[in-house]
Amino acid sequence: MRKPIIAGNWKMNKTPDEARELVSALVPMVKDADCDVVVCVPAVDFAAVKEAVAGTNVKLGAQNVHFAKSGAYTGELSADMLKACGVEYVVIGHSERRQYFGETDKTVNQRVLAAVEAGLIPLLCVGELKDERENSYTNAIVEYQTLIGLNGLSGDQVKDVVVAYEPVWAIGTGLVATDEQANETIGVIRGAIERKYGKNVSDAVRIQYGGSMNPGNVKGLMSQPEIDGGLIGGASLKAPDFTAVVMYNK
Ligand code: 13P
């Protein structure tokens, strides 16, 4: 049995004061969650959120990580820096990073390797564009992105990675994949992992759905056998909404 994991991706939202307020409201409401709960916040909010979640079941996540240990990479943060700030999870390869900041499958893979080496849990994002789905490339795209993203990890390391299937056309659009579409494509991702790493690995790895997931559609999505959680954008920015997603089974 895989333990579901629901993570908020705040993207470029919330000052430290706003972050403290949101997380302080969230913590008591999700204390009895049956899933792992993570908030992936801007780096400027790490200190405030670390303090607000200390000793609770809510874990701190980041939204990206650089692959080098240190050096002349202006504006970047290393995995060791994130660790030192209390970060446990890190979103890698989000479609917004791929689209707007030129990240490629190759650099996404380097980031995953650096994160795992430092003891961070990657939330590796994969997903097809609208025209790729319309042209029936979805399966090929998600298999490729997943296997390249994980390349170089051992089977045991892959077991602990979280994959987030985020169809790009469903992100921030209000369009959501149907329960069946999401389940089917996540099954394709799991199948690719099984072919390369074996069934004991593919049975263990958790695969989230992301893309306009909200209190209204979470139950249906989470009732699907392949879907092990969610990566939540807009609905993670308000404590009651994110609580309703996290507590979907209550
Ligand atoms: P929305 O939930 O706002 O569609 O964003 C999803 C997402 O990109 C999470 O990483």
pLDDT at 225: 98
Which two three-digit tokens encode residue 11?
Answer: 């993207």
* C-alpha 46 – ligand 1 centre gap (Å): 20
Mean pLDDT of 49-67: 98
* C-alpha 212 – ligand 1 centre gap (Å): 6
88 catalytic? Reply is no
pLDDT bucket at 113, cuts 50 / 70 / 90: very high
Q: Residue 1: pLDDT above 90?
A: no
In one-letter notation, the amino acid at residue 117 is: E
66 catalytic? Reply is no
Helix (H) or strand (E) holding 165: strand 162-165
CATH number at 105 reads 3.20.20.70
* pTM for the structure as a whole: 0.98
pLDDT bucket at 78, cuts 50 / 70 / 90: very high
Mean pLDDT of 45-58: 98
What are the residues whose beta carbons fall under 8 Å from the beta carbon of 48, sequence distance 6 or more?
16, 17, 19, 20, 23
* 93 Cβ closer than 6 Å to some ligand 1 atom: no
Say how many domains are in the chain: 1
| Probe residue for ligand 1, chosen from 171, 173, 207, 246 as the CB with the greatest number of ligand atoms within 8 Å | 171
User: What does the alpha-carbon distance between residue 244 and residue 250 come to, in Å, rounded to a whole number?
Assistant: 9
Mean pLDDT of 14-20: 98
* 171 Cβ closer than 6 Å to some ligand 1 atom: yes
Cβ(38)–Cβ(89) under 8 Å? Answer: yes
In one-letter notation, the amino acid at residue 53 is: V
* 213 Cβ closer than 6 Å to some ligand 1 atom: yes
Closest ligand 1 atom to 213 CA: 2
Cα Dmax for the chain: 48
Task: Print the domain residue range for 193.
Answer: 5-246
pLDDT tens-digit profile of 139-164?
Answer: 999 999 999 999 999 999 999 999 99
Quote the radius of gyration of the chain (alpha carbons, Å). Answer: 17
Q: What whole-number percentage of the chain has pLDDT above 90?
A: 98
